[in-house]
Amino acid sequence: MKQLTAKKRAELLRLAQRPDSEIDLSDIPEIREFPSDAIIGQFYRPKKQSVTIRLDADGIAWLKGSGAGYQTRVNSFLRQLMSKRRAA
């Protein structure tokens, strides 16, 4: 990647110091909901946090029964529930 020139760096710093109220967003539509074909996490990876949780044994058996990655599926189920709750 090319280094920024001193002139460009100064211009970017000047722009970064402007308040948000001075930014014209009139030509950019507001995103009110994710498109149906959006892939969550394709470019943005949320920070993960390790937790300990107690779940029913039959639920864990069901999750593990469909193969590796059961923790990822639990996370996916939680995200789906979050999306449904936001929409309601």
Return the domain boundaries, the chain.
49-88
Instruction: Count other C-beta atoms under 10 Å from residue 42's C-beta.
Output: 7
Span 17-40, pLDDT tens digits: 999 888 888 898 888 887 888 777
Residue 14 identity: R
Give 65's pLDDT tier (boundaries 50, 70, 90). Answer: very high
CA angle 28–32–38, rounded 5-degree value? 95
Asked if 63 contacts 72 with a C-beta cutoff of 8 angstroms, the reply is: no
Q: Which residue has the higher pLDDT, 55 or 88?
A: 55
SS3 of 9, please?
helix
Asked if 70 contacts 63 with a C-beta cutoff of 8 angstroms, the reply is: yes
Q: Residue 88 has which token pair?
A: 């309601």
Q: Please report the pLDDT score of residue 1 as a whole number.
A: 66
What pTM value is reported for the model? 0.47
Q: Please report the pLDDT score of residue 50 as a whole number.
A: 93
Q: Across residues 52-70, what is the average pLDDT?
A: 93
